[in-house]
Amino acid sequence: MQLPESITICEVGPRDGLQNEKHILSAQRKIELINDVVNAGVKVVEIGSFVSPKAVPQLADTDEVAKGIARRPEVEYRALISNLKGMERAIFAGITKVKLTVSASESHNKSNWNRSTTEVIRGFYDAMELAAKSGLEVSGAISTAFGCPFEGNIPRKQILDLVQTFISMGVTEISLSDTTGMAYPSQVYEVGKRARELFPSVRFWLHLHNTRGLAMANMLAGMQAGIVRFDASFSGLGGCPYAPGASGNVATEDVIHMCDLININTGINLDKMIEIAQEVRQDVRHETESFILKAGKSLVLSTRDLDKLKREV
Ligand code: MG
């Protein structure tokens, strides 16, 4: 197998993970969680979003969270925004990196932002101008890149055109997001490979949901296409409030567990991440979709099984 030596994981739990949770966590608790994942070795964290507090009440306090976290110089703390207003709030909160998000699907933009794709993109230009003046780094995200619950398949050209649009605005770090878990491995491989061939200077991320159990397979397919940056969420939390049936980002601890087994360095301590994921499960007050939390690490089980076998012999 062609596997990378190392990958970068962005912990999106504080944003994509929590945004759909009914039980509202305090800003202080969110700050603790962000500091904890950084202490576990995470180098990129999505700390929240600067969008309408009415639309996403859980993240209404991102300003406060941004001001309260311990900032480590080697760690990237980014927030999701969708327009100029979000950019203004991010700057005011002292955030140095933002992620501008547009959906590849017209219907998803309508239901998510109440605007057409063209309108969403038009709004980016003012935001980009302000970012340039204020020295903010901007990345981009294309949601529903691998399928939309309203429109079905999204033609590859549509994705690549949006990548080109981002590049023309000066954005060279782009996340291809499987918002509703519709991606499948051969598609991720082909889109990823083509995107990297056409835009070799772009740093591509994959944002994968495990709605249909394919996130990990898609991640491996992405690695085969040369992609080495992946979003994941503690405890497998997540889901898009505007996409019917969408649930669960791939769990950070599940990803680290697999990477540890196949010798891909993530720089993140699995045991620490499992502890955080267990606490998060208590925070949100319901069972989550993390495999490792349910089953434990496979190597621990093998040792236990070996001992049992020895006793039986
Ligand atoms: Mg998502």
Average pLDDT, stretch 203-211?
Answer: 96
Per-residue model confidence as pLDDT tens digits over 30-51: 999 999 999 999 999 999 999 9
Catalytic positions: 240
Beta strands in 54-117 (DSSP E): 76-81, 97-103
Tell me, in angstroms, the distance from the centre of ligand 1 to residue 150's CA. Answer: 16
What mean pLDDT value characterizes the chain? 93
Spatial distance between the Cα atoms of 261 and 301, rounded to a whole number of angstroms: 13
Tell me, in angstroms, the distance from the centre of ligand 1 to residue 148's CA. Answer: 13
Q: Is the pLDDT of residue 181 over 60?
A: yes
What pLDDT was estimated at residue 242? 57
CATH class for the domain made up of 8-312: alpha beta
Residues with CB under 5 A from ligand 1 (ion): 16
Per-residue model confidence as pLDDT tens digits over 46-102: 999 999 999 899 999 999 999 999 999 999 999 999 899 999 999 999 999 999 999
Tell me, in angstroms, the distance from the centre of ligand 1 to residue 300's CA. Answer: 31
Spatial distance between the Cα atoms of 267 and 265, rounded to a whole number of angstroms: 6
Domain ranges of the chain: 8-312
